[in-house]
Amino acid sequence: MADDDEVSPSGDPLLAAKFAVPPVPPAFVARKRLTDRLTEGAQGPLTVITGPAGAGKTTLAASWLHQRRRQRAAQPQAGPVVWLTVERDDSAPGVFWAYVLGAFRYHRVPLPDGVGSPSRADSVDHALIVRLASALTRLDRPVVLVLDGFERAADRDVAADLDFLLAHSGTSLRLVLTGRVDPPMPLHRYRTEARSCEIRRSDLAFTARESGRLLRSHGLTASPESVAALTERTEGWAAGLRLCALAMQQADDAEHFARSFAASQHAVADYLMAEVLDAQPPGTQDLLIRTSILTTIHPELADALTGRDDAGRILARLAAGNAFLEPVGDTSWYRSHPLFAEVLRTHLRSRSPSLGTELHRTAAHWLAGHDRLADALGHAVAADDWAYATALLVDRLAVGRLLTGPDSHGLQQLFSALPADLPGAAPALVSAAVALARRDTKESRRLLEASPVDGDAAPEPRLAHALLRLLTDAATGTGTDSDSDGECAGRGESDADADADADSESNGDDVRTLMAQLPLARLEEHPEIEALYRYGRAQALLATGRRAAARDAFAAALAAATDERTRTVRYHCLGALALTEAVDGLPGPAEAHAREGLDTAEEYGIPVGARTGACHLALAAVALDRGDLRGAARQLDAAGACPPALDPPATAEAAVLHSRLDLAHGRTSAALTALTGYDDNGTHHPCAEAERRIATARSAVHLARGDTRAARTALHAAPGAGPADTVAFAAVQLAAGDPERARRLLAPMGDGAPLCPADEIRRALLLAQAAVAEEDRAAAVAFLDQALRAARPGLLRAPFDESGPWLRHLLAGAPELATAHPWLTKRPTADDGCAPLIERLSARECDVLRCAAQLLSTQEIAAEMFLSVNTVKTHLKSVYRKLSVSHRGEAVRRAREAGLL
């Protein structure tokens, strides 16, 4: 008879069931990654497989043994395998060891008769363990002993004897233990000696690929997105996936079932109730049901919800027993499996419908008292206690967290259901912040004006009101325009600084003054307040045309926005600063800040709805100034895919850039339409800076059409005057044939404050053109050289491309200039730092792109990179956006052109 032939000496079918290796279930999914680990682990003395009910522990061990037996047929020298299913009645030492010896004999392991058997059920003679160890050392091949469900007989005496047997059997015994908890053996010793293999719950969890195979084995076909959703919802729990697969076979719409959390919860509810909840004592059941309202559970919070004082001990026992509860890292907190928690919540709603509200209220106050503000707010809202929730947000100086930070999107959604008729300042302030976050500045302004905060109120609500008013006014360009009337070129930076200080004190209570009334320690806990204040001040400066001061203010806001809670502010600052720098002719810093802004959005996962096109607009402006029209068009398309800009300067700049691009292609009518579209938008209050930018752009289009009267009229319609406006007026005078007046306008500009590069270049070019008109060639060459020198650092070609034929004639007569500035006529390339603009790809995005270049499908890329299909799609979308393309083939081609592949 072969070694692995199984014989039941007593002929008892119950014993045969305990000793027989269980068959693998129908629709079994082989998981090579786990069986390979078991094969490797069985080379050493101890392998431990632990996990909750239904995690697939027994199935894994059984499938591995069946595979091993098939291999033994081809390799007879492999050692025998012994299986014992341990049950609760086996915990007595004598009973346990009698079954172990019976399992050895059942599986035909040749043990001498002298080993003997236990004489009593409640104890075992240690000499028997010594004789068994001695007998095992004489085997010619090592034996694998699998004890399935070992925790049912995990008596400490049994575990100690088992440890002794393992230590004194040499290399002849390989032990595999499965169970819901760790065996009471000195695992630390085996670990330090590298003599153990441990397969845990996380290892047993199905991957998305394995889940897909399981569904197919049940005759089901689901989309990769549905498989990923089902895997995430069940957290790869084997029994949950199988129960869902069986339910999907009966469902009318299997695809909808796979995506539905409620359907999954219903499919596994009975299993979880019977295998987990009903197996617990009544007190433990009550604790699990009451704490089901929590995402994470702290023992003290659990005590508050139950009115008891033993939650710590119960939670620790449940976690140790793999009862679908696990510790959160190295903290005192625990979390339940999401499906189990939902089953418990359903049970709570059906058993005690009114209890949930009181539990949420208790949790809100406990969490608020332990500095868990976001969690406290969620429970306060769940308890429908809006007054407490809004007061908590305002009194804790946390209104800014609705606008920036990792939990801003969640808080916006939470308070989007805030009733509109709640009395008091706190609800109005929170509603205004929510409106501002969703870009509804009109509603934000209405709420702030309708609910002014009493001057005798505490500093917290007054600060929230002042900060929100500052941000709302800055976003719409209002509240700061009065100081801009009559502003002219040549104002000093000290004047701008004084105006900036005056602006910060407008709109009621001054933010800075109110901040000074609060303890510094409290403000340091909320860095978003300082960052939002500086950002709002910078926007106000930009709206009134003080661009140099605005650049400095945005830089100061960036310096304050370095915390995770200020990442949204940082993103918006980078975009606004980049666009301001691009308009001012500073392409290097503009490009660097724009790319950093895009990287920030990707790195921190800023929601698409919270993004702006400012970074793309800045890159489009840089591309236009460098003569890269295709790159500019791609960036404008990318900006158009973003939500509309909130602030008037960015909205105006988008129109100006579209107009410039159309004008560069000779489409003057389209160029005017782009600017008219801004006028017709009607979403913004008047803003001096935006109106001036639109006016100068409209004047340039009229000049291109030869209509100097319309060009002059357009400029007269703009409020105030600045360097760019003066340059534009001079261009009209030149076009009208009055170079002397143009020179008189331009000459004083060099005597005041330093000009930004854009204005300096255009001023020098106009002076060169005026000199050409007056036949002063030497002066013309000198001014042209001045313009070229100013443009060289940023490779700004556009002002020269837009200058007309006089420039070509002048360059033809001054070859020394053309020789000194070859970049002017050279096509943009990577060598001169002016290649078509492409955002940097992350390392993972490059890997995905390389797989796409090999013509792999999305599913194949996911398998190759061990990612979910949804993750691959997200990376591909990011690649398309960064490369300004719409499909894979174009992405691969463009990446190769740019040297990325």
pLDDT value at residue 543: 82
Closest Cα to residue 159, out of 91, 81, 95? 91
Quote the CA–CA distance of 213 and 220 in Å, as a whole number. Answer: 9
Using a 10 angstrom Cβ sphere, with 0-12 exposed, 13-18 middle and 19 or more buried, the burial of residue 492 is exposed
The tens digit of pLDDT for each residue in 805-814 reads 888 888 888 8
Percent of the chain with pLDDT over 90: 28
Strand partners, 82: 145
Mean pLDDT of 558-582: 91
The tens digit of pLDDT for each residue in 88-127 reads 878 888 888 989 998 998 888 888 888 888 888 888 888 9
Task: Between 629 and 269, name the one with better pLDDT.
Answer: 629
Q: What is the DSSP letter of 359?
A: H
pLDDT value at residue 520: 92
Tell me: do 298 and 186 sit in the same domain.
Answer: no
Tell me: do 267 and 136 sit in the same domain.
Answer: no
The CATH number of whichever domain residue 321 belongs to comes to 1.10.10
Task: Between 828 and 10, name the one with better pLDDT.
Answer: 828
Contact (Cβ atoms closer than 8 angstroms) between residue 66 and residue 24: yes
Q: Is the pLDDT of residue 5 over 70?
A: no
How confident is residue 895, by pLDDT bands cut at 50, 70 and 90? confident
Identify the domain boundary among 369, 401, 429: 369
Tell me: do 261 and 150 sit in the same domain.
Answer: no
Q: Is the pLDDT of residue 772 over 80?
A: yes
Q: Is the pLDDT of residue 729 over 70?
A: yes
pLDDT mean across residues, the chain: 82
Closest Cα to residue 251, out of 226, 220, 273, 216? 220
Enclosing domain of residue 276 = 220-238+249-369
Q: Is the pLDDT of residue 177 over 80?
A: yes
Task: Between 198 and 717, name the one with better pLDDT.
Answer: 198
Mean pLDDT of 288-312: 93
pLDDT value at residue 835: 41
What is the full DSSP assignment across 519-546?
-HHHHHT-HHHHHHHHHHHHHHHHHTT-
Contact (Cβ atoms closer than 8 angstroms) between residue 654 and residue 509: no
Tell me: do 256 and 337 sit in the same domain.
Answer: yes
Q: Is the pLDDT of residue 832 over 60?
A: no
Task: Between 594 and 492, name the one with better pLDDT.
Answer: 594
In-domain check, residue 821: no
Mean pLDDT of 59-65: 90
804: left (phi over 0), alpha (psi -120 to 50) or beta: left
Number of folded domains in the chain? 3
Greatest pairwise CA separation for the chain in angstroms? 124
For 487, the token pair is 């502003």
In-domain check, residue 869: yes
For 606, the token pair is 């800023």
In-domain check, residue 488: no
For 160, the token pair is 């100690």
How confident is residue 15, by pLDDT bands cut at 50, 70 and 90? low
Residues 397, 402, 405: CA angle, nearest 5 degrees: 95
How far CA 677 is from CA of 551, 597, 658, 682, in Å, comes to 28, 27, 11, 9
In-domain check, residue 357: yes
In-domain check, residue 282: yes
Identify the domain boundary among 343, 369, 395: 369
pLDDT value at residue 489: 34
In-domain check, residue 847: yes
The CATH number of whichever domain residue 849 belongs to comes to 1.10.10.10
Tell me: do 150 and 231 sit in the same domain.
Answer: no
Instruction: Give the pairing of strands 334-336 and 325-327.
Output: antiparallel
Identify the domain boundary among 323, 344, 369: 369
The CATH number of whichever domain residue 91 belongs to comes to 3.40.50.300
pLDDT value at residue 879: 84
Tell me: do 55 and 168 sit in the same domain.
Answer: yes
Tell me: do 80 and 195 sit in the same domain.
Answer: yes
Q: Cβ neighbours of residue 135 under 8 Å, at least 6 residues apart?
A: 111, 112, 115
Q: Which of 366-370, 705-709, 794-798 has the lowest mean pLDDT?
A: 794-798
How confident is residue 725, by pLDDT bands cut at 50, 70 and 90? confident
Strand partners, 616: none
How confident is residue 860, by pLDDT bands cut at 50, 70 and 90? confident
Tell me: do 189 and 226 sit in the same domain.
Answer: no
Quote the CA–CA distance of 634 and 629 in Å, as a whole number. Answer: 9
Tell me: do 289 and 144 sit in the same domain.
Answer: no
Task: Between 344 and 468, name the one with better pLDDT.
Answer: 468
Tell me: do 198 and 226 sit in the same domain.
Answer: no
Tell me: do 52 and 188 sit in the same domain.
Answer: yes
Tell me: do 56 and 197 sit in the same domain.
Answer: yes
The tens digit of pLDDT for each residue in 519-531 reads 999 999 999 999 9
The tens digit of pLDDT for each residue in 77-97 reads 567 889 999 888 788 888 889
In-domain check, residue 459: no
pLDDT value at residue 134: 92
Token pair 């003290």 in the structure block, residue: 300
pLDDT value at residue 84: 92
How confident is residue 430, by pLDDT bands cut at 50, 70 and 90? very high
Q: Is the pLDDT of residue 876 over 60?
A: yes
Quote the CA–CA distance of 643 and 440 in Å, as a whole number. Answer: 12
In-domain check, residue 403: no
